[in-house]
């Protein structure tokens, strides 16, 4: 018996007696072939008391440098926004934390209404008609949107994908394309944004093979894309416009649904979810009404009960795997309900004005940061496009970005993401992200440390921990 | 929901579909038995006008809350009309499967197939 | 004669009609979007501390109208969601025997350790050298999970069971393609969870169902007939969704490997066999874990989850990246371009970053708490509890709700309500709804599809004998009540925040957002 089970010897005897066997072993012997029984138990250590487990997990946590331990400008898909205390409290409530998917709507009205509210918030942010109750996370949401396009146009096997789509989204789509029977063709960039002329050319030749044009707003380099122009070109050839968006930026940028986008997806972490080293978070997924029956995942809808009271249920379930099986619109089985709850609470906490104020603050501080960093000798903007909360710079020629990041981290500042880790032609690039938790004095400190680290690198200094990034990739 | 009924003047397919023949045009729908087995219909996805249907093959889908069912063509031909009313009011399929619940009108490509359909008594016998 | 022994202790019945609405029923559902007033707020933006510059964003890119989010104060916000939470049934408040979902207790320790800033505020792109604790944790978790499955290589990345299935089929595909073998079909039993066939399609294969034999396992002859050189994989849940451990698993593995296909284990039911029997030893090449089931993540009302996979040596090169490596100096690295071993011929990525680390922390803490003997005890007790509840129910209502297959079960079992429907006049759905009035979450209903009027019950190891007894008595009481008056169950529930909901209208005329 562990602390999480409760069968005493007395219980056990009574239970075996009721079952009509002399021992538990009889039950196993009767069902499991002897050849596949494990002899001698698992080769794992014995269990530990709660306080010892806590101590061990605390010790492991201390071996990590978190956003609490350094001034961090790392973003590239996940962002260190402040999470209001109310979210911790609400997500910790048993009634939200411990139920399963709402299979019994009569006793799941809380969760179902949260989904309904969440869907409303996502529709508002994206300017689209219908949102599902969330999917796993951002990049796999992009791949799921690709599948929707395949279902909409089964005879068009090609996706045109912006070179500034998040590399994880791009790679996830490529991985799944093997199963979809689709291919991914890149649209080149021009001065940091999707090259609309190149897109036009890619569509002019074989556009009838393209099911969707997929891009990101703001894009991976932080730049604002011309969403309307991209969508219009896609539609001219009968392809869908699929946009991965940063939900925080959508507070100030035009809703993709108002700029011709058919499907808008994205990573929801920035909305009240912790970094958690990459998850769990949620992916949002919204589309125009035309695609309602091709949507993946759970969707909550409003209805009434037997006495006429307003209530909520999971609906349009015939799309889903448990009913349509091999013809389902997706194999996804759950939403990220708890993370989506954090999302809608966060958006309600910000409120109508707060979301805009947050966006405006980020625009100003990001501009200030870009100006300040590009004033450092040898540092230039990687592109000159308007940005909301993230921007790319180039370090001086001959400077190894990974080494400079390590030196800056030794000085207590994480300056951002080494763009050379994803593309060779971005070598020398640094992607810097802002949240409202990074003040002007943090930005000034970043500029100081970055300058100092570049000079230190040029002077031959190296971090005792070694270059930032995978050890093996450095060696290779 | 109406009581069980299987009109005399219709012909039936064993997969619970009916056909009303009018010269070389036939109207298709699903039988009382089929709608009863499915439960309350919430969605009917009609085929496009101009598309062809093949006898014994699916030409549309009909959905209840927790089931999806293929609708089988009793005869082959080309769709010349679909029942647009069912888009807003799929309950017609339950309430009145033989009139308001009709699904498509088809210009038959091989009227000789009609001979293979069941008459009312043969279909009703197949249900027991 | 009544199905129920009338000498059973008196059980206090819940209300059997809806004549007086409960306080929660009287409270009309109002969304957060219908609350609040312009000018109210919970958020205060930090002061603008940099020189303000106009025109940074071109007007054409700017939002014309703000998103119409609620305007609420913090107290209003908190009260709204706390009140909403009370309209949920949850595992902490009551028995939740949802079959194949493994609703076991969620230790609160896990929430505490996951919230430590070193875990919770760790950025996924942090330099591996500055995330050594996280990588060590993931490395240890991989080793532990591998030991439980009896397979040497683990990839933690997939986000849920269905995502793990997809990973499993894509590595299967890569494995076959690497041998120049282009296969087209995947076999799955007709008892399979719907995610299996859905995943098969998304992975680009055609699904071929395999029949179930009268003993509840795979029909071996049907499998033999369908296993050919076009079959890439057999996806099997063992024990399956009927709670049956396949008696022919060794033969099945032989047939599948005989045509050089992979054998995939849907690990949804791993909670039955931890420390008792290992998928790797049964001959499985690939297994996915549901960390949110066997390794106790809180389900969060439908997510998050986590669905790592474990594979054999021959499959390992195709695993998703990044992979964790333990270096010669004892430190840990995270790489997307391993030169050999797991991931060296990778299928690529299945999602962003490394996976649901917050789930890894919880499951790792669980494994540390229980250890090898504790995991085995968990499975043994889960099987004991299931067989006990089965025995109790058969004793009380066996003539109304017989076991669908076999005599005993592993960690869950399926009863059939066919007799009850015919003799008592209530369906499994009615029984489930009436259970809500008794304060129990119903078991899984109408799954597996193979069983008419199916009731799939999984009590888990964390429930006491007293709870199991109370549940069995509630089921018996509902049937006893229905023998007298079936209409009570047919119109149940009466005491829940809302009563039965009109799902048909919801689907017919979808209202999927608050109109504003």
**ipTM for the predicted complex:** 0.98
C338-383 pLDDT, tens digit per residue, is: 999 999 999 999 999 999 999 999 999 999 999 999 999 999 999 9
C269-280 pLDDT, tens digit per residue, is: 999 999 999 999
How far apart (Å, rounded) are the C-alpha atoms in residues A158 and A170?
A: 13
Per the structure, the complete domain to which residue B36 belongs is given by 12-110
Q: Does C287 touch chain A (CB under 8 A)?
A: no
The answer to whether residues C363 and C420 belong to one domain is no
Q: Please count the residue pairs, one from chain B and one from chain C, whose beta carbons lie less than 8 angstroms apart.
A: 14
C379-418 pLDDT, tens digit per residue, is: 999 999 999 999 999 999 999 999 998 899 999 999 999 9
How far apart (Å, rounded) are the C-alpha atoms in residues C258 and C266?
A: 21
Minimal Cβ distance to A274: which of C120, C207, C278: C120
Q: Where are the alpha helices (DSSP H) in B31-109?
A: 32-38, 85-88, 92-95
Distance from first CA to last CA of chain C, Å, rounded? 58
Minimal Cβ distance to A331: which of C74, C96, C198: C198
Q: Does B40 touch chain C (CB under 8 A)?
A: yes
**Does some domain include residue B3?**
no
The answer to whether residues C347 and C435 belong to one domain is no
> Across the interface, do C507 and B42 touch by the CB < 8 Å criterion?
yes
Distance from CA of C504 to the nearest CA of B (A): 6
> Across the interface, do C507 and B63 touch by the CB < 8 Å criterion?
yes
How many domains would you assign to chain B? 1
C130-156 pLDDT, tens digit per residue, is: 999 999 999 999 999 999 999 999 999
Partners for C (CB, 8 Å, 3+ pairs)? A, B
Selected residues 160-179 of chain A with any CB under 8 Å from a CB in chain C: 166, 168-169, 171-172, 174-176, 178-179
Which DSSP helix (H) or strand (E) runs through A212? strand A210-217
* Token pair listed for C132: 């050594």
For residue B43, the chain C residues in CB contact (below 8 A) are: 507-508
SS3 C409: coil
CB-based contacts of B87: which residues, under 8 Å, 6+ apart? Answer: B44, B46
Beta strands C185-189 and C206-210, pairing class: parallel
Distance from first CA to last CA of chain A, Å, rounded? 50
For residue A317, the chain B residues in CB contact (below 8 A) are: 65-66
pLDDT band at B1 (very low <50, low <70, confident <90, very high): low
What does the longest C-alpha to C-alpha distance in chain B come to?
38
Q: Which residue of C has its CA nearest to B41?
A: C504
**Does some domain include residue B46?**
yes
How many domains would you assign to chain C? 2
Minimal Cβ distance to A252: which of C40, C63, C174: C63
CB-based contacts of B113: which residues, under 8 Å, 6+ apart? Answer: B55, B75, B76
* Chain B interface test: which of C194, C506, C507 (most B C-beta within 10 Å): C507
**Does some domain include residue C242?**
yes
pLDDT of residue B2: 64
**Does some domain include residue C137?**
yes
Selected residues 175-234 of chain A with any CB under 8 Å from a CB in chain C: 175-176, 178-181, 224, 226-228
* Token pair listed for A276: 């958690």
In 3D space, the residue among B43, A324, B85, B71 whose CA is nearest the CA of residue C504 turns out to be B43
pLDDT of residue C11: 66
Distance from CA of B54 to the nearest CA of C (A): 23
Query: Residue C486: which CATH number?
Result: 3.90.1150.10
Q: Using only C-alpha atoms, what is the Rg of chain B?
A: 13
Q: Where are the alpha helices (DSSP H) in A275-336?
A: 321-324
Q: Does B87 touch chain A (CB under 8 A)?
A: no
Q: Where are the alpha helices (DSSP H) in C402-491?
A: 418-423, 428-437, 465-484, 486-491
Q: Does A37 touch chain B (CB under 8 A)?
A: no
Per the structure, the complete domain to which residue C488 belongs is given by 371-500
* Chain B interface test: which of C452, C453, C508 (most B C-beta within 10 Å): C508
Distance from CA of A192 to the nearest CA of C (A): 15
B29-47 pLDDT, tens digit per residue, is: 999 999 998 989 999 989 9
Distance from CA of B86 to the nearest CA of C (A): 11
The answer to whether residues C387 and C283 belong to one domain is no
| Angle, CA of B35, B38 and B40, to the nearest 5° | 80
In 3D space, the residue among C88, C349, B45 whose CA is nearest the CA of residue A327 turns out to be B45
How far apart (Å, rounded) are the C-alpha atoms in residues A414 and A416?
A: 6
**Does some domain include residue B43?**
yes
Distance from CA of C74 to the nearest CA of A (A): 7
Partners for B (CB, 8 Å, 3+ pairs)? A, C
In 3D space, the residue among C387, C366, C308 whose CA is nearest the CA of residue C114 turns out to be C366
Among C324, C350, C367, the domain-final residue is C367
Q: Where are the alpha helices (DSSP H) in A388-439?
A: 401-410
For residue A76, the chain C residues in CB contact (below 8 A) are: 125
Query: Residue B84: which CATH number?
Result: 2.40.50.100
Selected residues 262-281 of chain C with any CB under 8 Å from a CB in chain A: 273-278, 281
**Does some domain include residue C413?**
yes
SS3 A99: coil
How far apart (Å, rounded) are the C-alpha atoms in residues C332 and C328?
A: 9
Output the DSSP codes for A46-70: BP--HHHHHHHHHHHHHTB--TTTS
In 3D space, the residue among A147, A143, A137, A150 whose CA is nearest the CA of residue A175 turns out to be A143
The answer to whether residues C193 and C142 belong to one domain is yes
The answer to whether residues C307 and C390 belong to one domain is no
* Token pair listed for C162: 């269905």
The answer to whether residues C125 and C267 belong to one domain is yes
**Does some domain include residue C511?**
no
* Token pair listed for A25: 């072993």
Distance from CA of B39 to the nearest CA of C (A): 10
pLDDT band at C12 (very low <50, low <70, confident <90, very high): confident
The answer to whether residues C260 and C381 belong to one domain is no
Beta strands A417-418 and B11-13, pairing class: unpaired
* Chain A interface test: which of B45, B63, B64 (most A C-beta within 10 Å): B63
Residues β-bridged to residue A217? A245
Q: Does C162 touch chain A (CB under 8 A)?
A: yes
For residue B67, the chain A residues in CB contact (below 8 A) are: 318, 323
Selected residues 229-248 of chain A with any CB under 8 Å from a CB in chain C: none
Residues β-bridged to residue A300? A314
What count of Cα atoms within 13 Å lies in the side-chain half-sphere of residue C68?
Answer: 15
The answer to whether residues C245 and C382 belong to one domain is no
Q: Please count the residue pairs, one from chain A and one from chain C, whose beta carbons lie less than 8 angstroms apart.
A: 757
Among C367, C393, C424, the domain-final residue is C367
**Does some domain include residue B52?**
yes
pLDDT of residue B67: 86
Q: Does B2 touch chain A (CB under 8 A)?
A: no
Whether the per-residue pLDDT at B6 is higher than 70: the answer is yes
Over residues C54-71, mean pLDDT: 97
Give yes or no for a cis peptide into A210 (omega within 30° of 0): no
Q: Does B63 touch chain C (CB under 8 A)?
A: yes
* Token pair listed for C377: 């005890």
Among C335, C367, C399, the domain-final residue is C367
The answer to whether residues C428 and C340 belong to one domain is no
Beta strands A310-314 and A300-304, pairing class: antiparallel
Whether the per-residue pLDDT at C449 is higher than 60: the answer is yes
CB-based contacts of C395: which residues, under 8 Å, 6+ apart? Answer: A18, C5
How far apart (Å, rounded) are the C-alpha atoms in residues A175 and C317?
A: 15
How far apart (Å, rounded) are the C-alpha atoms in residues C374 and C386?
A: 18
Q: Does A303 touch chain B (CB under 8 A)?
A: no
* Token pair listed for A168: 């994880």
- Please count the other Cβ atoms lying within 10 Å of the Cβ belonging to residue A391: 29
pLDDT of residue C8: 46
> Across the interface, do B65 and A324 touch by the CB < 8 Å criterion?
no
**Does some domain include residue C38?**
no
**Does some domain include residue C102?**
no
**Does some domain include residue C70?**
no
The answer to whether residues C390 and C464 belong to one domain is yes
How far apart (Å, rounded) are the C-alpha atoms in residues A377 and A394?
A: 11
C476-490 pLDDT, tens digit per residue, is: 999 999 999 999 999
pLDDT of residue A476: 45
How far apart (Å, rounded) are the C-alpha atoms in residues C315 and C299?
A: 30
**Does some domain include residue B7?**
no
For residue A470, the chain C residues in CB contact (below 8 A) are: 128, 322, 333-337
Tens of pLDDT along chain A (476 residues) come to 789 999 999 999 999 999 999 999 999 999 999 999 999 999 999 999 999 999 999 999 999 999 999 999 999 999 999 999 999 999 999 999 999 999 999 999 999 999 999 999 999 999 999 999 999 999 999 999 999 999 999 999 999 999 999 999 999 999 999 999 999 999 999 999 999 999 999 999 999 999 999 999 999 999 999 999 999 999 999 999 999 999 999 999 999 999 999 999 999 999 999 999 999 999 999 999 999 999 999 999 999 999 999 999 999 998 888 888 888 888 888 899 999 999 999 999 999 999 999 999 999 999 999 999 999 999 999 999 999 999 999 999 999 999 999 999 999 999 999 999 999 999 999 999 999 999 999 999 999 999 999 999 999 999 999 999 988 765 54
In 3D space, the residue among B74, B88, B100, B82 whose CA is nearest the CA of residue B2 turns out to be B100
Sign of CA dihedral A149, A150, A156, A162: positive
Minimal Cβ distance to C194: which of A251, A310, A325: A325
Q: Does A93 touch chain C (CB under 8 A)?
A: yes
> Across the interface, do A54 and C71 touch by the CB < 8 Å criterion?
no
> Across the interface, do B66 and A323 touch by the CB < 8 Å criterion?
yes
SS3 C94: coil
How far apart (Å, rounded) are the C-alpha atoms in residues C232 and C262?
A: 6
How far apart (Å, rounded) are the C-alpha atoms in residues C422 and C271?
A: 34
Q: Where are the alpha helices (DSSP H) in A1-62?
A: 9-19, 24-31, 50-62
In 3D space, the residue among A337, B63, B62, A320 whose CA is nearest the CA of residue C193 turns out to be A320
pLDDT band at C10 (very low <50, low <70, confident <90, very high): low
The answer to whether residues C257 and C183 belong to one domain is yes
The answer to whether residues C148 and C213 belong to one domain is yes
**Does some domain include residue B100?**
yes
Minimal Cβ distance to B90: which of C446, C503, C508: C508
- Please count the other Cβ atoms lying within 10 Å of the Cβ belonging to residue C182: 10
Minimal Cβ distance to A109: which of C87, C277, C502: C87
How far apart (Å, rounded) are the C-alpha atoms in residues A268 and C423?
A: 51
> Across the interface, do C507 and B91 touch by the CB < 8 Å criterion?
no
* Chain B interface test: which of C504, C505, C509 (most B C-beta within 10 Å): C504
**Does some domain include residue B1?**
no
How far apart (Å, rounded) are the C-alpha atoms in residues C347 and C166?
A: 11
SS3 A353: helix
How far apart (Å, rounded) are the C-alpha atoms in residues A265 and A214?
A: 10
Partners for A (CB, 8 Å, 3+ pairs)? B, C
Map C324-377 to HEC letters. EEECCCCCEEEECCCCCCCCCCCCCCCCCCCCCHHHHHHHHHHHHHHHHHHHHH
Query: Residue C115: which CATH number?
Result: 3.40.640.10
Please name each of the domains of chain A with its CATH number. Answer: 11-40 (no CATH), 71-79+352-475 (3.90.1150.10), 87-345 (3.40.640.10)
What count of Cα atoms within 13 Å lies in the side-chain half-sphere of residue A227?
Answer: 30
Distance from CA of A322 to the nearest CA of B (A): 9
Inter-helix orientation angle A138-152/A167-180, to 10°: 40
């Amino acid at each position: 018996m562990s602390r999480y089970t409760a069968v005493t010897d007395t219980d056990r005897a009574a239970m075996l007696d009721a079952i009509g066997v002399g021992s538990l072993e009889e039950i196993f012997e009767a069902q499991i072939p002897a050849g596949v029984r494990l002899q001698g138990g698992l080769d794992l250590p014995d269990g530990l008391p709660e306080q010892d487990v806590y101590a061990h997990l605390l010790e492991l946590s201390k071996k990590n440098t978190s956003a609490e331990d350094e001034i961090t400008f790392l973003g590239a898909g996940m962002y260190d926004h402040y999470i209001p205390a109310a979210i911790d409290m609400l997500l910790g409530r048993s009634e939200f934390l411990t139920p399963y998917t709402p299979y019994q709507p009569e006793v799941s009205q809380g969760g179902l209404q949260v989904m309904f509210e969440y869907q409303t918030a996502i529709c508002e942010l994206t300017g689209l008609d219908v949102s599902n109750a969330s999917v796993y996370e951002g990049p796999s949401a992009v791949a799921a949107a690709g599948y929707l396009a395949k279902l909409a146009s089964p005879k068009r096997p090609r996706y045109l994908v912006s070179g500034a789509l998040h590399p994880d989204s791009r790679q996830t789509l490529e991985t799944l394309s093997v199963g979809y029977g689709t291919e991914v063709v890149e649209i080149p960039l021009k001065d940091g944004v999707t090259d609309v002329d190149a897109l036009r050319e890619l569509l002019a030749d074989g556009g009838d093979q393209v099911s969707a044009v997929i891009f990101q707003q703001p894009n991976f380099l932080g730049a604002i894309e011309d969403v309307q122009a991209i969508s219009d070109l896609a539609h001219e050839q009968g392809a869908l416009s699929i946009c991965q968006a940063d939900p925080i930026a959508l507070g100030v940028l035009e809703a993709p649904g108002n700029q011709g986008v058919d499907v808008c997806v994205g990573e929801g972490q920035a909305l009240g979810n912790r970094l958690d080293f990459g998850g769990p978070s949620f992916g949002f997924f919204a589309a125009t009404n035309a695609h309602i029956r091709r949507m993946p995942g759970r969707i909550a809808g409003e209805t009434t009960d037997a006495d006429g009271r307003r209530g909520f249920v999971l609906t349009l379930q015939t799309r889903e795997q448990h009913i349509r099986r091999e013809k389902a619109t997706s194999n996804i089985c759950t939403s990220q309900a708890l993370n989506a709850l954090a999302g809608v609470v966060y958006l309600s906490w910000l409120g109508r004005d707060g979301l805009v104020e947050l966006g405006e603050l980020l625009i100003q501080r990001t501009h200030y940061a870009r100006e300040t960093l590009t004033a450092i000798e040898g540092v230039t903007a990687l592109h000159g496009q308007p940005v909301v909360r993230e921007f790319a710079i180039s370090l001086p020629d001959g400077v190894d970005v990974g080494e400079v990041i390590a030196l800056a981290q030794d000085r207590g500042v994480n300056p951002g993401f080494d763009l050379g880790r994803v593309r060779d032609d971005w070598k020398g690039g640094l992607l810097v992200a802002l949240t409202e938790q990074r003040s002007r004095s943090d930005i000034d400190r970043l500029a100081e440390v970055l300058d100092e680290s570049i000079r230190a690198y040029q002077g031959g200094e190296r971090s005792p921990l070694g270059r930032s990034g995978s050890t093996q990739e450095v060696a290779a | 929901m109406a009581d069980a009924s299987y009109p005399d003047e219709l012909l039936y397919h064993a997969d619970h579909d009916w056909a009303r023949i009018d010269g070389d045009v036939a109207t298709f729908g699903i039988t009382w038995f089929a709608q009863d087995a499915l439960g309350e219909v919430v969605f009917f996805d009609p085929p496009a006008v101009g598309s062809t249907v093949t006898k014994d093959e699916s030409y549309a889908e009909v959905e209840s809350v927790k089931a999806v069912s293929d609708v089988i063509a009793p005869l082959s031909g080309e769709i010349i009309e679909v029942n647009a009313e069912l888009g807003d009011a799929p309950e017609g399929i339950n309430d009145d499967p033989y009139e308001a619940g009709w699904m498509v009108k088809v210009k038959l490509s091989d009227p000789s197939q009609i001979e293979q359909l069941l008459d009312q008594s043969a279909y009703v016998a197949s249900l027991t | 004669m009544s199905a129920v022994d009338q000498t059973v202790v008196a059980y206090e019945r819940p209300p059997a009609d809806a004549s007086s609405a409960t306080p929660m029923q009287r409270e009309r559902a109002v969304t957060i979007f219908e609350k609040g007033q312009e000018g109210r707020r919970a958020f205060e933006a930090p002061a603008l501390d940099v020189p303000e510059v106009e025109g940074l964003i071109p007007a054409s890119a700017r939002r014309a109208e703000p998103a119409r989010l609620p305007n609420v104060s913090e107290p209003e916000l908190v009260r709204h969601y706390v009140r909403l939470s009370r309209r949920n049934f949850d595992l902490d408040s009551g028995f939740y025997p949802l079959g194949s979902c493994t609703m076991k207790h969620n230790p609160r320790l896990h929430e505490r350790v996951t919230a430590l800033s070193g875990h919770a505020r760790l950025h996924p792109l942090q330099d591996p050298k500055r995330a050594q604790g996280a990588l060590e944790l993931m490395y240890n978790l991989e080793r532990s999970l591998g030991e439980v499955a009896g397979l040497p290589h683990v990839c933690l990345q997939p986000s849920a069971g269905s995502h793990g299935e997809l990973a499993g089929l894509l590595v299967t595909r890569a494995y076959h393609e690497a041998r120049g073998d282009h296969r087209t079909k995947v076999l799955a039993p007709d008892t399979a969870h719907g995610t299996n066939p859905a995943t098969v399609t998304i992975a680009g294969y055609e699904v071929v169902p395999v029949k179930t034999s009268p003993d509840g396992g795979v029909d071996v002859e049907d499998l033999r007939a369908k296993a050919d050189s076009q079959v890439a994989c057999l996806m099997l849940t063992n024990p399956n969704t009927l709670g049956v451990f396949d008696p022919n698993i060794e033969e099945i593995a032989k047939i599948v490997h005989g045509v050089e296909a992979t054998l995939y284990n849907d690990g949804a039911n791993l909670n039955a066999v931890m420390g008792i029997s290992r998928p790797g030893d049964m001959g499985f090449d690939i297994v996915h874990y549901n960390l949110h089931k066997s390794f106790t993540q809180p389900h969060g009302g439908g997510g998050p989850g986590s669905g790592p996979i474990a594979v054999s040596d021959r499959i390992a090169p195709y695993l998703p990246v990044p992979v964790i490596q333990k270096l010669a100096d004892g430190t840990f690295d995270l790489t997307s371009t391993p030169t050999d071993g797991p991931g060296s011929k990778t299928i690529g990525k299945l999602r962003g970053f490394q996976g649901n680390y917050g789930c890894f922390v919880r499951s790792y803490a669980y494994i540390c708490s229980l250890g090898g003997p504790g995991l085995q005890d968990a499975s043994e007790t889960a099987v004991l509890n299931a067989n006990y509840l089965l025995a109790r129910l058969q004793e009380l209502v066996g003539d109304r709700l017989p076991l669908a297959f076999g005599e005993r079960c592993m960690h869950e079992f399926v009863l059939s309500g066919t007799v009850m429907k015919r003799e008592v006049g209530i369906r499994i759905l009615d029984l489930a709804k009436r259970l809500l009035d008794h304060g129990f979450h119903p078991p899984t209903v109408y799954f597996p599809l193979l069983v008419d009027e199916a009731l799939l019950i999984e009590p888990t190891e964390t429930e006491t004998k007293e709870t199991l007894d109370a549940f069995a008595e509630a089921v018996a009481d509902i049937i006893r009540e229905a023998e007298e008056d079936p209409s009570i169950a047919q119109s149940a529930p009466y005491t829940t925040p809302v009563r039965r909901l009109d799902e048909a209208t919801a689907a017919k005329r979808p209202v999927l957002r608050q109109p504003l």
